[in-house]
Structure 1
Amino acid sequence: MNPIEITPQALDAAERAIPPGQPFYMLNLLRYRAHAQYEDGFDATPCSGREAFNERYRPAFRRLAAGKPLVRIFSVPVLASLVGTQGERWDEAAINEYGDFATFRSIVETEIYRRDVAPHRHAALDDFRLLALAKTM
C-alpha cells in the first residue's frame, strides 16, 4: 500500500471523530520528491514533485471540488522544524477548510479522484501527513 494513501479505515475513524455538519480544517504536511514518480501506464510529462502537486494535483482537486463548500486557506513553505523527529523535514504546509467531513469524503471517494487526481499526489509526494482539525474550540 502507498504510505500516503487515504484509507477507508482512516476516513471511517475521522467521520466518527468529526461531528456531522461541522466545518473543520485539514492540515497538510508535504514533502516533495525531487522528480515525480508516476506509476507505470500513467501518461504524464516528467516534472518535479512540487510541479506535479501544484500544477497537476491542486488544479484537478479544485475542479473536482468545484461547487462544494471548500475554501483553501493557505499554503506556505516550511522554514524550520522546532520540535519533531530528528531529520524529519516538510517542504510545505497547507490548511484547507471544509464545510463538513461529508464534503471531503464525497471528493476523495469518487472514481474520478482515484483515477485522475490522486495519481498526481502519489507521484509528487515522498511523505505526507493529513490531520483533521476543529474549526473552533
Structure 2
Amino acid sequence: METVNPTPEQLQKVLADTPKDHPVVMLNLLRFRERAQYKDETADRSGREAYSLYMKEAAACVRAVGAEVIWSGRSVGALIAPPDESWDQVLLVRYPSINAFMAMIESPDYKGVVRHRTAAVEDSRLVANLES
C-alpha cells in the first residue's frame, strides 16, 4: 500500500508512545513520482524537483523547532527488503523531541510548503526512532 502522509491515528499513537523529553530521529524513505502531481496548480516538474523545492522551503521550518537534517542520500538498493520495494532518497532528521516535530508539522509555514512533498512523493515511510 502506497502511503504519503501520516494519518491522525498514526500521529496520535506515536505521540502517545514516545517520551516527550528525548530527541527523536525521523527516518524518511522516499519514492518519487515521475512527474509531480499538484492538486491546485499545473507546475511542470519531476517528483525529485518538487521534493528538492520542498526541502529548500521546509529548511526554515526544521530550524525553527531546533531540528536538523543529519544525513541525506540516494538509495542504491536494498539488501533485505521485499523484491518490489525500492527508495529514491533516505533522510535522517533529528528533532529535540516529538513535540518539536509536531510543532513543525502543525505550523502555518510548514503547512504552506508540504504541498511540494505531497506532489513529489509516490510512496514513503516515516519512522520515529529514539536514540539509545
TM-score, normalised relative to structure 1: 0.88
State the alpha-carbon separation in 2 of the partners of residues 7 and 97 from structure 1.
21
Give the deviation of 1:64 after TM superposition. Answer: 2.1
Percent identity of paired positions between Structure 1 and Structure 2: 31
Asked if 1:90 is matched to 2:87, the reply is yes
Q: Which runs of 5+ in 1 are unaligned?
A: none
Q: More deviation in 93-102 or 11-20?
A: 11-20
Q: Which among 17, 42, 45 is matched to residue 43 of structure 2?
A: 45
How many pairs were matched up? Answer: 131
Structure 2 residue ranges without an equivalent (≥5)? none
Give 1:47 shift. 0.8
Aligned to 1:126: 122
Q: Which whole-Å deviations, capped at 9, do the CAs of 1:47-95 have from their partners, x for residues lacking one?
A: 11111101x2112211223332101101111111111112111111110
1:27 is aligned to 2:24:
no
Of 58-67 and 81-90, deviating more is 58-67
Asked if structure 1 preserves the Cα contact closer than 8 Å seen for 2:62 and 2:68, the reply is no
CA contact (8 A) 2:25 2:95 kept: yes
Which of the residues 107, 110, 113 maps onto 2:107?
110
The answer for the alignment partner of 2:62 in structure 1 is 65
Post-superposition CA distance 1:26-65 (Å, at most 9, x none): 00000011111111x23x63111111101x2112211223
Whether the 8 Å contact between 2:23 and 2:94 is mirrored in structure 1 is: yes
